[in-house]
Chain A
Amino acid sequence: MPKDGGIGASTKRREDVRFLTGQGNYTDDINIAGQAYVHFLRSDMAHGRINAIDTAAAAAMPGVVRIFTGADFEGIGGLPCGWQVTDRFGEPMQEPAHPVLAQGKVRHVGDPIAAVVAETPEQARDAAEAIVVDITELPAVVDMRAALAEGATKVHDDLKSNLCYDWGFVEDNREAVDAAIKGAHHVTTLELVNNRLVANPMEPRVAVGDYNRATDEHTLYTTSQNPHVIRLLMGAFVLGIPEHKLRVVAPDVGGGFGSKIFHYAEEAFCTFAAKACNRPVKWTASRSEAFITDAHGRDHVTKIELALDEEGNFLALRTETLANMGAYLSTFAPSVPTWLHGTLMAGNYKTPLIYVNVKAVFTNTVPVDAYRGAGRPEATYQLERVIDKAARELGMDPIALRRKNFVTEFPYATPVAVEYDTGDYVATMDKLEEIADIAGFADRWEKSQDDGKLRGLGVNCYIEACGIAPSNLVGQLGARAGLYDAATVRVNATGSISVMVGAHSHGQGHETSFPQVVAEMIGIDPSQVEIVHGDSSKIPFGMGTYGSRSIAVCGSAMVRATEKIINKAKKIAAHLMEASEADIELKDGQFTVAGTDKSVAWGDVTLAAYVPHNYPLEEIEPGLEETAFYDPANFTYPAGAYACEVEVDPETGKVTICSFAAADDFGNIINPMIVDGQVHGGIGQGIGQALLENAVYDENGQLLSGSYMDYAMPRADDVPFYVVDHSCQTPCTHNPLGVKGCGEAGAIGSPPAVVNAVIDALQRAGKDVSHIDMPLTPARVWAAMNG
């Protein structure tokens, strides 16, 4: 019955049947008759000047269709940046060109120099090896501080320096913050690194370009989180293809975590080459290629200072961050260390004065952009680490210090521009203390002690701004795109429903959770509702999935469209029952006339809409299909409290996570099982960042951790069984579902809990260690203990 599968039901994910039985339709599964394959010749040096490229021998190799170099893209647009940041002096950021294929210079290992299109992937690769590139190696700019030094080698010769922008937020607060810190009773200072990460979705990127000479239509199949954004960026800015001649399809996508938001050179190349060669052109990344071409995440170096009074009240907060942009500006890169980071520095606390300074830096490394959480994990990590350190310096309990400073009244306007609509941080902390059995920690510590292990407890809070967000606001902040979303609800004649959504599911379970909402509203079985997503020719112009926005923004559009459907259906029902529209009620898929026993079923009404024999044609159109665009009034603000317990092996420094508890407030919840899964995955990635993952470059700009031999992904036995609770619910006040979004919370909230726990363990053992940079590998923890 409807209620079983409606809002709040832990319905199993219907899409998993095809994923788990190998029947998914991923981009690499798409093969078009006559397709050729592309292999990119990529730079193996971090920085170099291209003197000449000789493709003659390669072009004569078997199977070669055509070889392209940067010269073929002269006069064609480069990859655009979708966000312009204005620096603290009112100047626009420095924005370098980003050619599809390198022109003049290579700027990171992996930068594409040439592309070979051939009959088979092997022939393309063979020919690529035969291309002779005359290149002069230049000094690599790797370290951010060195990049900003006077006289540093420039990544982009035509820019003034390697500084992309120097951003101050809120610039007007700067002096007040400095003064408050100067005069404070206590100031806790912490310098830390937020380690660079590689997203590593299970499915590497793939692009297939197709061109129809007869209709002049281009189609790009691609591993994207937002096909419409790619169509807009690639069509309008790179290749100049009008939207009505360009279709972008993102079919099943095997994970993205942010790295598949962005418009990549390979997408533009395959689309371009399909027309140039008059052949479908396919590119499938190898895992090695993914490491050196997918946008990386994080990579911030930060100094944070927290000023407190005698009682432990937060007075002021000041941060200075260097944020690595890599060699080019990836699509949304400039927004991550600024508007997605600075605005979150208040956290869950009523700190009255905050100033955030961020210098974004170009280096000869892979571009860095949004990765699960994007800016918010960086904000949360520094804030929750410095609070922990302050508690230790002041001899206060870290939970008590947090509670003392919680925001308790809503709405709350932070000093960093955003306004939290609702929340209850006391409730999530209470819940956390209960589910993590904080009171029982002392006993567990004793037990670990008996086993020769150092046990520690780490607790932290987080808040995130999700459901990104009002278009007029983000426009003021520099976004070059709107951030609404859209849904079309198409009711079929027999009552089943197709919902075309702008959101894209690449692991989030939309095909299950979205129908639950529509089914609940109408009172039909969710199996009658199907979600269509990922194909720009089928779905309305929505902005895709990232920033935990799908249900909050696109789900709201779907609700609005369904409301329109219900309103129209009521008119039809009123006509069929010869009653007044105002008296019509819809419940469990039946329209009734209030106070009577008259009713018509949902299917009767939908059939009438398409077979309008007995129908109010003079009043309303036949058919039952509605579209809504939804632009939210504010971000949503999920928040919560996390606790982690670890054991450190004093002999080896190895950290074992004993338990991890999460108390989240996501507002209303559509499918609790899917929400649990999202939190589990997020925490897993957060633990990966805290203990294992690290993208490390050497001084020549070579990626040392460029494969799974050296880049440590979390495995099942690296993570514990999680205790996850989302019973604290303060519904969002401004969207129709009261939802906040849950996709990134785990990755945002978990790294500080892990690090706080390790530091706690070491301090309880009498070690004078106040910080260790992530990842807390055995070697690093051992070195800190024995330093």
Chain B
Amino acid sequence: MYSFDIERPTTIADAVAALGSDEAQALGGGQTLIPTLKQRLAAPAKLVSLSGIAEMQGVCVADDGALCIGGATPHAVVAREAAAAYPALAALAGQIGDPAVRNRGTIGGSLANNDPAACYPAAVLASGATIVTNARSIAADDYFDGMFGTALEEGEIIVEVRFPVPEAASYQKFLQPASRFALTGAFVAKFADGVRVAITGAGEEGVFRWSEAETALSHEFRPDALMDLSVSADGMIEDLHGSKAYRAHLVKVMTARAVAAAAG
């Protein structure tokens, strides 16, 4: 680690101001950023901790029925407090990493980082959630921008994520054996006006919607509806833990399992 300054603002406005200075970076739960600093792969001059900002904490249900999660809310809190309103999302949060990671890691940090194998991006994209920042609201479909890429501007903070709650949903994660991130994960969300399917862990461009499956499942919400679909291996990730073909295969298997679980 190189040395750095740290600020602990208590309001979003102060945080935005602090992030305005040169080489400042937001610190969520630090579960990605701190290891990166320890390996000296990043050298911010100043870290701005978001964990002391009360308005960015917690889970609530808005008047329109959307589930709102503060941008600095740890996974463990989501796992607990979203369980009644959006069980599939709570279950996803409860499967991230280990207890230490869940008690520190935050939804905002996860979405800002957009790791291609992370879990939350699948939920956000499949739910058609809205990312609310200090400056604007970004629709999920406009937010993710390739591996580790997002629509966030320099210094922009995710203050809240608003999830429309589907009629039925499930996230099925096939574990990468070492990291236990998603080797391939499928989030299926069934709304009154159709089904959305988001796949994480598999695509070279990060999380993506599997539109053929959405069409088929919107027509008939059963695992069998996927039977005739095939997933191309093109554009899939290939690494120590699985080939492109294996990931393409898992996309279908995990989606079918998610449908089975959601239709339950």
Bound-complex Cα distance A696 to B241 (A)? 11
Nearest-neighbour CB distance to chain B for A353, whole angstroms, equals: 40
Q: Which residues of A contact B174 (CB under 8 A)?
A: 652, 654, 778
Nearest-neighbour CB distance to chain A for B112, whole angstroms, equals: 19
- Residue-wise interface mask of B (169-207) relative to A, using a CB-CB cutoff of 8 A (1 in contact, 0 not): 000001001110001000000000000000000000000
Interface residues of A in 683-707 (CB under 8 A from B): 691-692, 694, 696, 704-705
Q: Which residues of A contact B240 (CB under 8 A)?
A: 694, 696, 704-705, 710
Quick one: which of B40, B177, B242 contacts A712, CB cutoff 8 A?
Answer: B177
**Is the C-beta of A711 less than 8 angstroms from some C-beta in chain B?**
yes
- Residue-wise interface mask of A (713-732) relative to B, using a CB-CB cutoff of 8 A (1 in contact, 0 not): 10000000000000000000
Quick one: which of A691, A710, A782, A783 contacts B179, CB cutoff 8 A?
Answer: A710
Bound-complex Cα distance A651 to B172 (A)? 14
Bound-complex Cα distance A694 to B241 (A)? 11
Among B4-12, B23-31, B245-253, the one that faces the other chain is: B245-253
Bound-complex Cα distance A126 to B203 (A)? 38
Bound-complex Cα distance A708 to B253 (A)? 26
- Residue-wise interface mask of A (284-301) relative to B, using a CB-CB cutoff of 8 A (1 in contact, 0 not): 000010000000000000
Q: Which residues of B contact A691 (CB under 8 A)?
A: 177
- Cβ A712 vs Cβ B1 within 8 A: no
**Is the C-beta of A413 less than 8 angstroms from some C-beta in chain B?**
no
**Is the C-beta of A15 less than 8 angstroms from some C-beta in chain B?**
no
Q: Which residues of B contact A696 (CB under 8 A)?
A: 240
Bound-complex Cα distance A101 to B179 (A)? 33
Nearest-neighbour CB distance to chain A for B185, whole angstroms, equals: 13
Q: Which residues of B contact A779 (CB under 8 A)?
A: 241-243, 246
- Residue-wise interface mask of B (211-253) relative to A, using a CB-CB cutoff of 8 A (1 in contact, 0 not): 0000000000000000000000000000111110010011001
Nearest-neighbour CB distance to chain A for B137, whole angstroms, equals: 33
A704-B240, A783-B243, A783-B246 given; A709·B179 CB < 8 A: yes
**Interchain pairs with CB closer than 8 A, number:** 47
**Is the C-beta of B36 less than 8 angstroms from some C-beta in chain A?**
no
Q: Which residues of A contact B177 (CB under 8 A)?
A: 691-692, 712, 777-778
CB-CB nearest in chain A for B1 = A122
- Cβ A782 vs Cβ B178 within 8 A: no
**Is the C-beta of B21 less than 8 angstroms from some C-beta in chain A?**
no
- Residue-wise interface mask of B (153-180) relative to A, using a CB-CB cutoff of 8 A (1 in contact, 0 not): 0000000000000000000001001110
Bound-complex Cα distance A654 to B241 (A)? 12
Q: Which residues of B contact A712 (CB under 8 A)?
A: 177-178
Nearest-neighbour CB distance to chain B for A772, whole angstroms, equals: 14
Interface centre among B178, B242, B243 (most CB of A within 10 A): B178
Nearest-neighbour CB distance to chain B for A142, whole angstroms, equals: 15
**Is the C-beta of B39 less than 8 angstroms from some C-beta in chain A?**
yes
Bound-complex Cα distance A412 to B261 (A)? 59
Q: Which residues of A contact B178 (CB under 8 A)?
A: 692, 705, 708-713
**Interface size of A in residues (CB-CB distance below 8 Å):** 24
Q: Which residues of B contact A692 (CB under 8 A)?
A: 177-178
A709-B179, A710-B240, A779-B242 given; A288·B39 CB < 8 A: yes
Bound-complex Cα distance A692 to B246 (A)? 17
CB-CB nearest in chain A for B241 = A779
Quick one: which of B1, B39, B40, B249 contacts A782, CB cutoff 8 A?
Answer: B249
CB-CB nearest in chain B for A708 = B178
Q: Which residues of A contact B242 (CB under 8 A)?
A: 777-779
- Cβ A651 vs Cβ B39 within 8 A: no
- Residue-wise interface mask of A (752-787) relative to B, using a CB-CB cutoff of 8 A (1 in contact, 0 not): 000000000000000000000000011100110000
Bound-complex Cα distance A711 to B176 (A)? 10
Q: Which residues of B contact A705 (CB under 8 A)?
A: 178, 240
Bound-complex Cα distance A652 to B251 (A)? 11
Interface centre among A125, A651, A704, A713 (most CB of B within 10 A): A651
Nearest-neighbour CB distance to chain B for A651, whole angstroms, equals: 5
Bound-complex Cα distance A652 to B250 (A)? 7
Nearest-neighbour CB distance to chain A for B100, whole angstroms, equals: 14
Q: Which residues of B contact A652 (CB under 8 A)?
A: 174, 250, 253
Bound-complex Cα distance A587 to B30 (A)? 63
Bound-complex Cα distance A705 to B176 (A)? 13
Give me 7 other A-B pairs in contact (C-beta within 8 A), A696-B240, A712-B178, A782-B246 excluded. Answer: A652-B174, A652-B250, A708-B178, A709-B179, A710-B178, A778-B174, A778-B177
Report 27 cross-chain contacts, Cβ distance below 8 Å, ordered by A residue: A122-B1, A122-B3, A129-B40, A651-B253, A652-B250, A652-B253, A654-B174, A691-B177, A694-B240, A696-B240, A704-B240, A705-B240, A708-B179, A709-B179, A710-B240, A710-B241, A711-B178, A712-B177, A777-B177, A777-B241, A778-B174, A778-B183, A778-B242, A778-B246, A782-B246, A782-B249, A783-B246
**What 6 A-B pairs have minimum CB-CB distances, sorted nearest first?**
A712-B178, A779-B242, A712-B177, A709-B179, A779-B246, A651-B253
Residues in A lying within 8 Å of B, measured CB to CB = 122, 125, 129, 288, 651-652, 654, 691-692, 694, 696, 704-705, 708-713, 777-779, 782-783
